[in-house]
Amino acid sequence: MGGDHGPGVVIPALMTVAIRRPDIRFVIYGREDAVRPELAKFPKLAEVSELIHCEIAVRMDDKPSQALRHGRWKSSMWKSVEAVKNGAAQACISAGNTGALMAMSKFCLRTMATIDRPAIAALWPTTRGESVVLDVGATIGADAHQLVDFAILGTGMARSVFGIERPSVGLLNVGVEEIKGQEEVKEAGRMLREANMASMNYRGFVEGDDIGKGTVDVVVTEGFAGNIALKTAEGTARQIAGYLRAAMSRTLMAKIGYVFAKGAFDRLREKMDVGRSNGGVFLGLNGIVVKSHGGADSDGFAAAIELGYDMVRNNLLDRIEADLDLFHARNPSAQANRKSGVAVDAEE
């Protein structure tokens, strides 16, 4: 029921994924009067889906605390998260209110035993393919222990989604030199170097331009810097696309040139399409929750579904739990020295 388009985008996306993944099944939570007409357009989808009517839908402008207080037990968002908790589903996908989804997910699923704060991880298109970047908006002011947690969470996601056994990991910093940066970042770097984990290739500090280069498979930062980086990248992509459209329509010769170069421009547009990497993953919870962009089209929402599918298929939670157990077994003092970060209302 969430996002800018609701069932009009979600239901066609389910059909797309059902064709690509014949083994998938869907439990759809929403108002029957809104969902049923859309579902009727795809009889094959109806055969692999169960529609559960929910009277309440969390609004995009609801405050997380308000949605949690009034939307629990009855809303489509709560019931979809609860389905993961009780085993009726293996992943929850939503294009709804990000802060409300995070609040409900954390309240219902709880964080893993050694995790203080969950993180939102994004798949980031790079010149080499894709990287995992986290946190992009769940927690502001992460300490060194939480940054280490994020590194382990991101490593598990990279192993599951990219099929890399030992992903490379970098801490986002103002420089690559070990003497630069905030004390929390430098301390996290020391802890990761000393941990020398078999599942992680820690490469040290990386800078902002390294994200787009794909210098490492996993970029770790706290939510304030990560969210700004994400929004800046999305805005820059739209800005460049606007420049290109204006340039290609300025003169007759430019229009003719565009006709001959259309194939190249189509490939560039595909590379810059944020919908292809749609889906922010809530990591650190006892369940898989994927947040789609509110403005995603059906292809974008389908990408978010398939991201959740891949993480279930590749045992993301088991991989993360094994890595966390190994780290804390080797570093028993790490848990005792933790301190709480500052949680914020996650925004899209």
Residue 238 has pLDDT above 70, yes or no: yes
Model confidence band, residue 245 (pLDDT cutoffs 50, 70, 90): confident
Contact in structure between 330 and 323 (CB atoms under 8 Å): no
Handedness of CA 198, 306, 226, 97 (dihedral sign): negative
Q: Which helix (H) or strand (E) holds 211?
A: helix 208-213
Residues in the chain: 348
Residue carrying the six token digits 């294009």: 95
Residue partners of 154: CB distance under 8 A and separation at least 6: 119, 121, 132, 133, 134, 167, 169, 218, 219, 220, 283
Please give the C-alpha separations between residue 270 and each of 190, 267, 273, 275, in angstroms, as whole numbers. 39, 5, 5, 9
Average pLDDT, the chain: 86
Query: What's residue 172's pLDDT?
Result: 95
Model confidence band, residue 258 (pLDDT cutoffs 50, 70, 90): low
Model confidence band, residue 10 (pLDDT cutoffs 50, 70, 90): very high
Q: How is residue 254 written in tokens?
A: 């430019």
Contact in structure between 51 and 28 (CB atoms under 8 Å): yes
pLDDT digits (tens, 9 = 90+) for 277-292: 678 899 999 999 999 9
Query: For the residues 312-326, what does the mean pLDDT come to?
Result: 89
Query: What's residue 341's pLDDT?
Result: 45
Query: What's residue 340's pLDDT?
Result: 46
User: Which of 138-152, 232-246, 262-276, 319-333 has the largest mean confidence?
Assistant: 138-152
The amino acid that residue 176 corresponds to is V
Query: CA 13, CA 215: separation in Å to the nearest integer?
Result: 32
Higher pLDDT, 265 or 138: 138
Query: CA 2, CA 294: separation in Å to the nearest integer?
Result: 7
Query: What's residue 201's pLDDT?
Result: 94
Contact in structure between 76 and 97 (CB atoms under 8 Å): no
Residue 236 has pLDDT above 90, yes or no: no
Q: Exposure of 22 by Cβ count < 10 A (0-12 exposed, 13-18 middle, 19+ buried)?
A: exposed
Residue 342 has pLDDT above 50, yes or no: no
Residue partners of 236: CB distance under 8 A and separation at least 6: none
Residue 250 has pLDDT above 90, yes or no: no
Q: Could you count the other beta carbons within 10 Å of the beta carbon of residue 175?
A: 11
Contact in structure between 132 and 157 (CB atoms under 8 Å): yes
Q: How is residue 128 written in tokens?
A: 């080499």
Query: For the residues 2-15, what does the mean pLDDT come to?
Result: 93
pLDDT digits (tens, 9 = 90+) for 183-233: 999 999 999 998 888 889 999 999 999 998 999 999 999 989 988 888 887
Query: CA 210, CA 5: separation in Å to the nearest integer?
Result: 34
Q: Exposure of 333 by Cβ count < 10 A (0-12 exposed, 13-18 middle, 19+ buried)?
A: exposed
Contact in structure between 133 and 304 (CB atoms under 8 Å): no
Query: What's residue 163's pLDDT?
Result: 87
Contact in structure between 168 and 206 (CB atoms under 8 Å): no
Query: What's residue 70's pLDDT?
Result: 74
Query: For the residues 322-330, what does the mean pLDDT come to?
Result: 82
Query: What's residue 271's pLDDT?
Result: 61
Domains and CATH numbers, the chain: 98-343 (3.40.718.10)
pLDDT digits (tens, 9 = 90+) for 45-84: 999 999 999 988 998 888 888 888 876 678 999 999 999 9
- The whole-angstrom distance between residue 328's C-alpha and the CA centroid of its chain comes to 25
Query: For the residues 315-341, what does the mean pLDDT come to?
Result: 74
